[in-house]
Structure 1
Amino acid sequence: MTTALDNPVRDLPLPELPGFTHRWADAGGIRLHAVEGGRPDRPAVVLLAGFPQTWWAWRKVLPTLARRFHVLAIDLPGQGHSERPDGSYDTHTVAAYVHAAAEALGVSRYWLAGHDVGAWVAFSLAVQFESQLCGLALLDAGIPGITLPDAVPLDPEKAWKTWHFAFHLVPDLPEILLAGREREYVGWFLKAKSLSPSTFDDTEIEAYAAAVAANDGLRACLAYYRHAAESARKNHEALARQHLTVPVLGISGSHGSIPDMAASLRPWAANTTGIVVPDAGHFIPDEQPEAVAAALAAFMSEGDRY
């Protein structure tokens, strides 16, 4: 495990959350950042955020979970204060980094929850390392090959939720248009995809935009989408051998992107339950943190295999 002196993104401010400690782990040759807190003697839960956020997306959920669990919120490669490696960002490659980071931080068996791109990685981690997971929770995510539609819809009522998948795949053009305008781009996602436009204030938008812009972060964010086809291929290759048997919880927002996460996941994981969080858009942990924390705590308590 490395220290703050080895932070690979030193120019980016490092927000503090009372009761939690910043960690860096050697994860298979790259450095990943994590925030750790809670009760080390209790079951562990690993939380993964998505685009265009960082671990800070869980800041309102972490204190509640920390009362009963050992909690780790890990920045994905290319996200927040984690390294932005070259190479593939397919979710199986990234999942191996995340799992290595958890083990380096002393957690070999854990519950796993992911939102958005974090859910992409969480699903692929589960199909690779299922024996080391207690359960899996996935929040409002179009997971490549699993819950993601085969084509971007053209209906304006739906297209605004998924148009960026195709845009991010285009070589070079997103970088040309977005470099120097990360604040506007990130702000659009956070405002448009929340049920209430006041969910995120200017300070939060600027912090997330700074993380995307720092140290080639924009390239890394886009790489998850550019390698989505490989992620889908590897997911199906793994699921052809065996479907998931660990407990799975699908969490949807009443006004989110995937109306019924559980229904989308059941073909691949028989032991699946689902909830819909009222008064929430896509960014459920920010919009309804108490409901998310309660749902995760109940899920982990009911299915505790420790």
Structure 2
Amino acid sequence: MNDPASAPRVSGNPVRDLPLPDLTGFTHRWVDADGVRLHAVQGGQPDSPAVVLLAGFPQTWWAWRKVMPDLADRFHVIAIDLPGQGHSERPDISYDTHTVAAHVHAAVEALGVSTYWLVAHDIGAWVAFSLALKYQSQLRGLALLDAGIPGVTLPDAVPTDPEQAWKTWHFAFHLVPDLPETLLTGREREYVGWFLKVKTRSSDTFDDAEIEHYAASVAADGGLRASLAYYRDAARSARKNHDALEQQRLRLPVLGISSSHGSIPDMAASLRPWADHATGIVVPEAGHFIPDEHPGAVAVALTDFITADD
């Protein structure tokens, strides 16, 4: 990762005070995505199938750094920071997942990609599910990793059993007006570090530099507001998902990647009521942050999924 003091000032970067990590073989791009400037990192084989990667809270595109080089041997790989995340713009817009999905899809098209495989984790999977409903004809397949998707796989109520509540307590906390900002501003590192330490199978999955990177992204101008907005607009996301699912099902191939110690025990089973072709795997000895904990297993599962018809 780059030294923050020497972070490059790349033209078009809307979050210039945030250190910008590089990944060998990949380049940074910023594109106008229907009025929102989004950050993309791309590499691999430009004439091969495109694979678009979306990360969730409290991470950035950097969550995929261990998976991307393995995929780049066979695919055109693009990791995109969502609005409000990483080095993407943090606009004052609705963060319901259908609105965000339109911006993400516009970014992919601005990069010259017309059809693609979509892979997403956590809140990224919220956006990816809605994107698949809106732009199904332009997707070749959808892979979702350990995510409670509003109106789909997310429970209607936060559990009160302490054995389960620690996994989802923050959903309700993030909905409270103003209080999270009051308590978290200036303490982003402690908050982000709790998620990265507690929700992994091994507490040493993330080192101090990685925790600092993600905390800095949340703390950067507008980052905390945007992070909370995804949760605060989750009810709107759920309604739009329900409306869309009344008109259609997912007909494209869907892969659910679960983990032995994650939030959703069986992603594929939770998606089958809305998908015609849903298959799944469970990564053993993994917590919520599967791409960081077992990147090799994720890369193999995605490669097998994408090349199944070859």
TM-score under structure 2 normalisation? Answer: 0.97
- Aligned partners of 1:4 and 1:23 also within 8 Å: no
Helix, strand or coil at the partner of 1:72: strand
1:132 deviates by 0.1
- The CA RMSD over aligned residues, in Å, is 0.8
1:220-299 correspondence runs (5 A): 220-299=226-305
140, 157, 164: which one aligns with 2:163: 157
1:98 deviates by 0.2
141, 149, 154: which one aligns with 1:135: 141
1:207-222 correspondence runs (5 A): 207-222=213-228
1:216 deviates by 1.2
CA distance in 2 between partners of 1:118 and 1:88 (Å): 16
1:263 deviates by 0.4
1:123 deviates by 0.2
Residue number in structure 2 paired with 1:146? 152
CA distance in 2 between partners of 1:149 and 1:303 (Å): 34
Deviation readout 1:123-159 (Å, 9 max, x if unpaired): 0000000000000000000000010001000000000
Helix, strand or coil at the partner of 1:9: coil
Residue number in structure 1 paired with 2:132? 126
State whether structure 2 residue 195 is matched by structure 1 residue 194. no
CA distance in 1 between partners of 2:152 and 2:289 (Å): 20
1:66-105 correspondence runs (5 A): 66-105=72-111
Q: What one-letter code is carried by the residue in structure 2 that aligns with 1:215? A: D
State whether structure 2 residue 29 is matched by structure 1 residue 23. yes
Runs of 4+ deviating beyond 2 Å: none
CA distance in 2 between partners of 1:215 and 1:72 (Å): 25
State whether structure 2 residue 188 is matched by structure 1 residue 182. yes
CA distance in 1 between partners of 2:95 and 2:302 (Å): 27
- Aligned partners of 1:137 and 1:251 also within 8 Å: yes
Helix, strand or coil at the partner of 2:167: helix
CA distance in 2 between partners of 1:303 and 1:78 (Å): 36
61, 67, 89: which one aligns with 1:61: 67
Q: Structure 2 unaligned runs (5+)?
A: 1-8
1:173 deviates by 0.2
Deviation readout 1:45-81 (Å, 9 max, x if unpaired): 0000000000000000000000000000000000000
- Aligned partners of 1:247 and 1:303 also within 8 Å: no
CA distance in 1 between partners of 2:21 and 2:185 (Å): 24
1:4 deviates by 2.8
CA distance in 2 between partners of 1:235 and 1:107 (Å): 25
CA distance in 2 between partners of 1:68 and 1:279 (Å): 27
1:215 deviates by 1.3
Q: What one-letter code is carried by the residue in structure 2 that aligns with 1:166? A: A
Q: Structure 1 unaligned runs (5+)?
A: none
Percent sequence identity over aligned pairs: 78
CA distance in 2 between partners of 1:207 and 1:274 (Å): 31
204, 209, 212: which one aligns with 1:203: 209
Residue number in structure 1 paired with 2:5? none
